[in-house]
């Protein structure tokens, strides 16, 4: 039996949009959608306004959909707002919802406080649909699913390009694949040349290129990549975390390789796309464990300095790049 209340919970906007659209299509005929869909941002409007709407009979139709975004009262520490939500009104509605309304609550959060009474009641009476971020090792099936929906074919041999250039953001992946589909006839096959030409470059890709620049001791290239990312509104602190994640995977792969693990066995321990592990295996050869440990320490120190506000973030990141390349040079000189 279909529920009257749904909680879409998670940070993956593509899945949220997809589930929301499915619920609307199941509830309302196309001709009823213009007048019978209401939307409320709970950072701007109290929940009781949405509840009153849900209890009001639909206009020119048998059913209605009420969508509420940002239910801050589900967070462990709710945001401060200029008004208070009447959560009791929601609790009463959860126990006795209007049979002509579908209430969709969208919580775009990584976590909610499951100890709260309102969440427990939603768990008991509503349907909770998880919309969490996709893991890297699941990206292949999503590429296939979206390609099927767009009536195009993306050969497995170029899935690595999508993993590298787009990452795991499904909304971005859908947009990039739609762009490719526009350049193909229905049933067309995406070639490597077309994908390389049209795919937008992600910050993760530039992060990998910065790792390569450090590996090749090319400070000029590393700084140029950094400035390009700044122009794209990337935050230096986020870029430190990005570099740290890349070098952490390289370190994990190196340790597992030394223990005799094959590439396919590493997936169990390194939660990343096979392509990411494959590239890490190529890069780990350029670093000793001593170098990698020094690099991770330098990244941790820069992260601390930035977060404490001890130095301008841009300057701190440029100095970090210098230090990483200096670590590489210093270890090479000492090993001669």
Which of 56-70, 260-274, 317-331 tops mean pLDDT?
A: 56-70
For the chain, give the mean pLDDT.
87
Between 204 and 13, whose confidence is greater?
Answer: 13
User: ∠134-139-140 over CA atoms, to 5°?
Assistant: 155
* C-alpha to C-alpha distances, 285 to 146, 185, 278, 323, nearest whole angstrom: 36, 43, 12, 20
pLDDT > 90: percent of the chain: 47
Query: pLDDT digits over 170-185, tens only?
Result: 888 888 899 899 988 8
Statement: 136-198 belongs to CATH 1.10.8: yes
> What residue spans in the chain does CATH classification 1.20.272.10 cover?
203-335
Number of H helices, E strands in the chain: 15, 5
The CATH number assigned to the domain with range 203-335 reads 1.20.272.10
Lowest model confidence (mean pLDDT) among 81-85, 104-108, 269-273, 304-308: 269-273
Name the most confidently modeled range: 137-141, 215-219, 229-233, 322-326: 322-326
Q: 5-130 adopts what CATH topology?
A: Rossmann fold (3.40.50)
Cα 212 from chain centroid (whole Å)? 24
Q: Name, in order, each residue with C-beta under 8 angstroms of 174's C-beta and a sequence gap of 6 or more.
A: 14, 146
**CATH 3.40.50.300-classified regions of the chain:** 5-130
Task: Indicate whether 60 pLDDT > 60.
Answer: yes
């Amino acid at each position: 039996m279909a529920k009257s209340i749904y909680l879409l919970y998670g940070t993956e906007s593509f899945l949220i949009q997809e589930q929301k659209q499915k619920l609307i299509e199941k509830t309302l005929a196309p001709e009823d959608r213009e007048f019978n869909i209401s939307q409320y941002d709970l950072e701007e409007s109290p929940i009781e306004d949405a509840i009153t709407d849900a209890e009001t009979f639909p206009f020119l139709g048998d059913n209605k959909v009420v969508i509420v975004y940002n239910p801050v009262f589900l967070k462990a520490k709710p945001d401060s707002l200029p008004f208070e939500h009447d959560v009791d009104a929601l609790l009463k509605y959860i126990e006795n919802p209007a049979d002509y309304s579908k209430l969709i609550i969208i919580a775009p959060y990584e976590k909610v406080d499951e100890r709260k009474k309102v969440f427990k009641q939603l768990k008991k009476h509503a349907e909770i649909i998880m919309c969490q971020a996709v893991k890297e090792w699941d990206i292949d099936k999503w590429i296939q699913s979206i390609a099927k929906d767009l009536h195009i074919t993306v050969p497995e041999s170029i899935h690595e390009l999508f993993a590298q250039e787009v990452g795991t953001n499904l909304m971005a992946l859908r947009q990039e694949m739609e762009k490719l589909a526009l350049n193909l006839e229905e049933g067309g096959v995406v070639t490597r040349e077309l994908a390389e030409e049209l795919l937008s470059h992600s910050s993760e890709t530039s992060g990998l290129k910065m790792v390569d620049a450090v590996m090749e001791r090319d400070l000029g290239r590393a700084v140029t990549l950094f400035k390009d990312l700044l122009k794209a509104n990337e935050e230096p602190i986020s870029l430190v975390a990005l570099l740290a994640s890349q070098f952490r995977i390289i370190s994990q792969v190196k340790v597992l390789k030394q223990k005799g693990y094959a590439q396919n066995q590493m997936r169990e321990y390194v939660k990343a796309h096979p392509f990411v592990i494959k590239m890490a295996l190529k890069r780990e050869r350029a670093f000793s464990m001593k170098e990698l440990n020094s690099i991770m320490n330098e990244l941790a120190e820069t992260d601390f300095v930035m977060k404490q506000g001890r130095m301008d973030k841009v300057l701190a990141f440029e100095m970090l790049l210098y230090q990483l390349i200096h670590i590489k040079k210093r270890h090479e000189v000492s090993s001669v």
